[in-house]
């Protein structure tokens, strides 16, 4: 009986450590990220366990002084007049491990396509976003950096 309680204590301690690691991974991905092209800021937030991302501006026009960019590449003509600023382009991502999110979708306003995706947190200031059709093998990876 004594060995069993020691094993239970070890199991609970290990589970607590693992849970704190997972929570830390979730918290560090939230924030504003600069896309690989350097022309867009994307704000990542976790809502109801789902990682979502919306366009939060552009380094080229930080004050939003230019006319708004519109979603002109959208395949749905009724949506081509909507403004890109504030548009949700990442959705449905669920945490798979402390540093990886999967099962989500990525909308690319540059071509109007939506892709399946995964996001990997490389370190606290770098992430890799992989968008693909069908298999991950047929896709593209972008490296984003945290906006300071």
Please state the rounded mean pLDDT for residues 51-80: 93
Cα separation, 58 vs 39, whole angstroms: 6
**Domain limits for position 129:** 2-146
CATH number at residue 134: 2.40.128.520
Q: What is the pLDDT of residues 14-42, one digit of tens each?
A: 444 444 344 445 569 999 999 999 999 99
Calculate what percentage of the chain has a pLDDT beyond 70: 82
128 φ, ψ (degrees, to nearest 5): -115, 125
Cα separation, 83 vs 67, whole angstroms: 10
Question: What CA–CA distances, in Å, run from 81 to 54, 62, 68, 77, 128?
Answer: 17, 21, 10, 8, 30
Q: How many structural domains does the chain have?
A: 1
Tokens 């919306």, residue? 54
Cα separation, 132 vs 136, whole angstroms: 5
Q: What is the pLDDT of residues 46-59, one digit of tens each?
A: 999 999 999 999 99
pTM: 0.79
For residue 79, give the 3-state DSSP assignment. Answer: helix
For residue 26, give the 3-state DSSP assignment. Answer: helix
Q: Which residues of 93-114 are buried (b: 16+ CB within 10 A; e: fewer)?
A: bebeebbebbebebbebeeeee
58 neighbors 41 (Cβ within 8 angstroms): yes
Cα separation, 93 vs 100, whole angstroms: 9
């Amino acid at each position: 009986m004594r060995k069993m309680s020691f094993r239970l204590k070890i199991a609970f301690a290990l589970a607590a450590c693992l849970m704190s690691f997972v929570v830390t991974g979730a918290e560090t991905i939230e924030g504003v990220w600069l896309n690989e092209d350097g022309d867009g800021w994307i704000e990542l937030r976790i809502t109801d366990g789902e990682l979502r991302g919306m366009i939060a501006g552009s380094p080229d026009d930080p004050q939003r002084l230019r006319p708004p960019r519109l979603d002109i590449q959208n395949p749905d003509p009724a949506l081509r007049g909507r403004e890109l600023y504030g548009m949700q382009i990442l959705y449905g991502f669920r945490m798979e491990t402390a540093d990886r999110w999967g099962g989500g979708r990525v909308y690319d306003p540059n071509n109007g396509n939506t892709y399946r995706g995964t996001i990997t947190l490389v370190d606290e200031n770098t992430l890799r976003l992989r968008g693909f059709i069908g298999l991950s093998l047929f896709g593209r990876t972008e490296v984003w950096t945290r906006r300071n």
